[in-house]
Amino acid sequence: MVPAPVAAQTEKTITGGFDVGPGGFPGNFNPQTATAGFTWLNTYFEPLVIYTSDLSKLVGALASDFAVGEDNLTYTFKLVETNWHDGKPFTSADVKFTLELAKNAESGSIFAARLAGIASIETPDEHTAVVKLSKPNSAFLSVLSQVMMLPEHALSSMDVKEIAKSPWWSTKPVGTGPFKFTKYVSDQYVEMAAYDGYRGGRPKVDRLINRYFANPAAAVSALSAGEIQFTFAEPDDAKTFKGNDNFRVIEGDSYVVNYIGFNHRAGIWNDLRVRQAVMHAIDRNAIISSLFGGAAKLANCGYVAPQLVPKDLSDYAYDPQKAKDLLAEAGWEKINGDKPIPWLTYYNTPQVANVMAAIQAMLAQVGINVVPRALDVPSYNGIVRSEKWPDFPLVYAGLQNGPNPASLNVGLNAAQIPPAGNNIMRVEMPQLTEALNTAMAETDPAQADAKWQQVCREMNAQLPWSPMWVASRYGVVSGKLQDFFWTPAPGGGPFVSHPEKWDIAP
């Protein structure tokens, strides 16, 4: 292993495992292809708008001000005056270039389907960008919070189809954030240096290092040894730091619903009774109590926020006999019987391994034989998004359900099937798609909750997935860090965290 560099004594350096755990995405430097890792990416790239640190509302980032027209189709962004790390000015041309690249599926962008409603992008002057949509989209600004602005002058000469694979991302990227890219040592660490010209003032520390670890346990060991000052931690590991004055434990809602995903083109899940049987076969409350230590909330649709969840849902109570009866009625013996069913996940943690083992045993009791298989994130994404349609009947995954429930649309709407979007389970349920489209088009906050309740009802009744729970997540911070902020946001955010203010005591 190549050790992380040792800083000169006069330098201040913060080292962390910023891409450890489900909020990270080690080795991905292109924010338009990233499904996570935004906590780190946001130290050098920035979006137009960003969520506040408590994820309650959107505020300006590279947009000093933004407004939505009365038609609910026109979005006007007033841009801050700032420069890219290479000294070139950030302008509305960069906004137009970034959004056009992000909505172009040929670029490899995961935002293509979510931004397909952009009808035009106008740049009346260097500090104003006007985006017009073809139809109202209540999730548009939320989506933009993850679309990091990119430099037109550095990327526009590249072939769109080659941009995603360009070495530029990991060798000489330029952003507008408080830190600028220095180097990447393959599979070991990424190093940033303070950007003296940052509009919010020069960062308090000279260097920021993101170390990669094989798993959360290895990162926790490095934290305990004083090698790093921050990492995501599994619940059991986080507990060991409580009461220790040398560390601070951060606990928060993951805003991610974990689910068992049915590949709707696999054939074996077509009968609703089979999907219902999976729900009744799993003692979710027992798993939450024993394996999550109670730090999770039961989910019966895609989210758990009280205002979005109607009271007339089925709770799919644990009932293995009912599961057996449903499977018998559906003719499971002829559909699949006891043939092994590969069950993929990208979660490589002891806790998830235990959870999947428990579910595997419960499903086996009713006659469903699943075989868990954990993959790294790139391999998993390559399989489930492949147009060649490899054989993966089942997954254990997570999809963010907040702070805006509209984020579920990308994983469930029939129009979001890859390569257009992230509906990796190839869900094509007309009533669910209609409910999603109705909710997405509702721009009146007073009416929106009722529309999302209908989405919840459709999910609960039709079971495009088997929703499991929304768990808490944990980060552990060295007591040496000052003014450091992290929250377990979906995909790592981004959110207002002011990396330029992070400091470390000697």
Alpha-carbon span 246 to 478, nearest angstrom: 6
Distances (CA, A) of 215 to 17, 233, 336, 346: 10, 10, 35, 12
List 59's β-bridge partners, or say none. 50
- Of residues 15 and 417, the one with the higher pLDDT is 15
**How many CB atoms are located within 10 Å of the residue 330 CB?**
18
Close Cβ partners of 409 (under 8 Å, ≥ 6 residues apart): 114, 139, 416, 436, 439, 440
Report the top-level CATH class of 253-472: alpha beta
Alpha-carbon span 413 to 451, nearest angstrom: 15
pLDDT digits (tens, 9 = 90+) for 482-498: 999 999 888 888 999 99
What 3-state class would DSSP assign to 295?
A: coil
- 253-472 matches 49-165 in CATH topology: no
Q: Tokens representing 73?
A: 């189709």
**How many CB atoms are located within 10 Å of the residue 340 CB?**
10
Distances (CA, A) of 449 to 114, 167, 310, 313, 431: 21, 44, 10, 16, 18
Nearest to 423 by CA among 407, 408, 434, 412: 412
CB 168 within 8 A of CB 153: no
Q: Find the farthest-apart pair of alpha carbons in the chain and give their distance in angstroms, rounded.
A: 72
What 3-state class would DSSP assign to 120?
A: strand
Nearest to 155 by CA among 145, 147, 165: 165
- Name the pLDDT band for 451 (thresholds 50, 70, 90): very high
**How many CB atoms are located within 10 Å of the residue 147 CB?**
23
Distances (CA, A) of 458 to 149, 256, 463: 36, 19, 8
Nearest to 429 by CA among 198, 291, 264: 264
Report the top-level CATH class of 49-165: alpha beta
Structure confidence at residue 402 (pLDDT)? 61
Alpha-carbon span 38 to 490, nearest angstrom: 9
Sign of the alpha-carbon dihedral angle for 140, 142, 146, 149: positive
Backbone angles phi, psi at 477, to 5 degrees: -120, 135
Determine the average pLDDT of the residues in 43-67.
94
- Tell whether the model's pLDDT for residue 404 goes beyond 80: no
Q: Tokens representing 129?
A: 């960008």
Residue linked to tokens 């000697």: 506
Structure confidence at residue 403 (pLDDT)? 66
pLDDT mean across residues, the chain: 93
Q: Which helix (H) or strand (E) holds 185?
A: strand 179-185
**pTM score above 0.85:** no
Domain ranges of the chain: 1-44+177-229+480-506, 49-165, 253-472
Flag the least confident range among 9-23, 109-123, 392-406: 392-406
Alpha-carbon span 491 to 417, nearest angstrom: 20
Buried-exposed string 191-215: b where 16+ CB fall within 10 A, e elsewhere: bbbbbeebeeeebbbbbbbbbbbee
- Name the pLDDT band for 142 (thresholds 50, 70, 90): confident
Alpha-carbon span 91 to 88, nearest angstrom: 9
Specify the amino acid at residue 73: L
Identify the architecture of domain 1-44+177-229+480-506 in CATH: 3-Layer(aba) Sandwich (3.40)
- Of residues 118 and 136, the one with the higher pLDDT is 118
pLDDT digits (tens, 9 = 90+) for 69-99: 999 999 999 999 999 999 999 999 999 999 9
Cis peptide before 393 (omega within 30 of 0): no
Q: Rounding to the nearest 10 degrees, give the CA dihedral for residues 55, 149, 104, 190.
A: -90
pLDDT digits (tens, 9 = 90+) for 459-487: 999 999 999 999 999 999 999 999 999 99
- Name the pLDDT band for 421 (thresholds 50, 70, 90): confident
Flag the least confident range among 144-148, 217-221, 324-328, 385-389: 385-389
Q: Tokens representing 88?
A: 């070139």
pLDDT digits (tens, 9 = 90+) for 247-265: 999 998 888 899 999 999 9
Determine the average pLDDT of the residues in 345-351.
89
Specify the amino acid at residue 308: L
- Name the pLDDT band for 445 (thresholds 50, 70, 90): confident
